Amino acid sequence: MMTKLNTISKKLFLIAILALALPACATFKEPPPEVRKQISILEPFKKAERILILAPHPDDESIGCAGVIQQALGAGAKVKVVYLTSGDHNLPAFIVYEKRLTLRQGEFIHMGHLRIKEAVKAMKLLGLKEDDLVFLGYPDFGTFTIFNRYWQSKTPFRDIITRISRVPYKECVSYGAPYQAESILSDLEKVILDYKPDRIFSSHGSDVNVDHKSFYLFLQVALSDLKGQIPEPKLYPYLVHCVGWPLPRHYNPGLNLYPPEAFWHSKISWVKTDLSAEELEKKYQAILCYRSQTQTSAFYLLAFARKNELFGDYPEVKLNQQAALHKQALAFFGASDMFEDFGALAQEEGPGDIEKNGQVSYAVAGEDFFVRVDKPKRLSRDFGVQLYLFGYSKRTTFALMPKVRIITSGRRFKLFLGGKRSSLAGVTLDFGKESLIIKIPLKLLGGPDYILASLKSYHGALPVDAAGFRKVIIE
């Protein structure tokens, strides 16, 4: 075991060194005028309004929402920040900051304590008190695995690097809580129920960082569980991790923060809030409070200290549940043998029966859910996808709902339920020249009211495209 950990430590040390050597200059590409015009202005904050910031790691709240925090406080609103993890898994940053290499468990806890202290310092600079901060202390880089696999599990998740399986920080609200999904969901629901926020600024479902994805997912489940118990808050996700964004790196206070190019023509409704010179300077100083991170990644973190902050999410996808697919929908999905049994096709009433997002499309017909992925023409039998489907039903506790992952490679595919390999259970795959169509029985998904769906496509081992988590409602 120690040999394996030593090998991991050496690799992470090399990553830390390479991170320092990465080029930090690149061409800034401004979106076309029609894209810029679609970015609206965030509604001003009001006195006594309750604002909740959800940060996957200590520093995310400053990167994404330092301006929001200042503006809300300036308007007389209340602000609370909740941290999902304590960032204790960032070994490369630890090596550079501490100038030593260690894998002792206590050192990881030390790093978590350090990042908590940095968060307290940064938030005091922005005007918050320590009582306004809630630290949950769940495993850095482990919460997505927990969301996918650790519901009603006999043993909690155990991090392979830290060897920790329970919240180790006494300052956290659930000190000693097991690394299980119910623990995270319960903590988040309690905060929301007690605080009753008017607006929530959360990590984004399209963020490539797994903890950012998982906090978004836990939030969606929590808000669904609490529906009717609290007024429905407005949700503003912020994006942090996206390949090649933002550019250029380093501190560029004279530039605007625009959406990544991959999202310029998406259906996301972006909103922004402009920062004053004083607000921008405080944001810059707040980011610098995270010395454990800026010593390796200042060029990246400070790239978010710009003239504005940006928020936005995909709209909900609403699919009409119908006995068959309309002819236009059939043509869109492909005239394959799997559709012949539909017989007479129903008339499409309007938008919503088929939702197309770039290369990914969703549909529901009868008792089945369909996912179509358009293949680039240059790709052939090596094309594959990894599809996550998390169904939610108000009739069933979310812990009992199936957590589905489907992996395809050419015409072959595997089905996993909660991380465990399962029989195909009625799932079928249609691998055509231009598209890949997956049919999943709604029963397998737990008969959901909605599905949290995400997909990545590959050519062999190389990623081709990705679609972040979207809420697909079955009407």
CATH number at residue 190: 3.40.50.10320
Number of structural domains, the chain? 2
Single out the residue in 311, 327, 352 at which a domain terminates.
311
Ordered per-residue pLDDT tens for the chain, 475 residues = 444 444 444 444 444 444 444 444 456 789 999 999 999 999 999 999 999 999 999 999 999 999 999 999 999 999 999 999 999 988 787 788 777 777 788 888 999 999 999 999 999 999 999 999 999 999 999 999 999 999 999 999 999 888 999 999 999 999 999 999 999 999 999 999 999 999 999 999 999 999 999 999 999 999 999 999 999 999 999 999 998 999 999 999 999 999 999 899 888 999 999 999 999 999 999 999 999 999 999 999 999 999 999 999 999 988 886 544 544 444 444 433 333 222 222 222 223 344 444 478 899 988 999 999 888 776 667 889 999 999 999 999 999 999 999 999 988 999 999 999 999 889 999 988 888 899 999 999 999 999 999 999 888 888 878 889 999 999 8
Q: What is the predicted pLDDT for the residue at 4? A: 47
| One domain for residues 215 and 175 | yes
Q: Structure pTM?
A: 0.89
Q: What is the predicted pLDDT for the residue at 378? A: 66
| One domain for residues 302 and 373 | no
Whether 242 contacts 207, CB under 8 Å: yes
| One domain for residues 256 and 358 | no
Q: What is the predicted pLDDT for the residue at 21? A: 41
| One domain for residues 413 and 448 | yes
Q: What is the predicted pLDDT for the residue at 321? A: 63
| One domain for residues 281 and 346 | no
| One domain for residues 421 and 277 | no
| One domain for residues 264 and 361 | no
Single out the residue in 281, 311, 341 at which a domain terminates.
311
Quick one: which of 268, 259, 350 has its CA closest to 308?
259
Q: What is the predicted pLDDT for the residue at 207? A: 96
Quick one: which of 56, 35, 21 has its CA closest to 270?
35
CATH number at residue 399: 2.60.40
Q: What is the predicted pLDDT for the residue at 222? A: 98
Whether 271 contacts 67, CB under 8 Å: no
Q: What is the predicted pLDDT for the residue at 337? A: 32
Sheet architecture: strand order including 133-138: 133-138, 78-85, 50-55, 199-203, 234-238
- Which residue range is the domain that position 101 belongs to? 2-311
| One domain for residues 254 and 355 | no
| One domain for residues 265 and 366 | no
Helix or strand run (H / E) with residue 51? strand 50-55
Q: What is the predicted pLDDT for the residue at 26? A: 54
Single out the residue in 311, 344, 366 at which a domain terminates.
311
| One domain for residues 339 and 454 | yes
| Per-residue buried b or exposed e for 357-389, using 16+ beta carbons within 10 Å of the residue's own CB | bebbbbbbbeebbbbbbbbeeeeeeebbbbbbb
| One domain for residues 243 and 342 | no
| One domain for residues 291 and 372 | no
Sheet architecture: strand order including 271-274: 40-41, 271-274, 308-311
Structure tokens at 97: 């900051």
Q: What is the predicted pLDDT for the residue at 93? A: 77
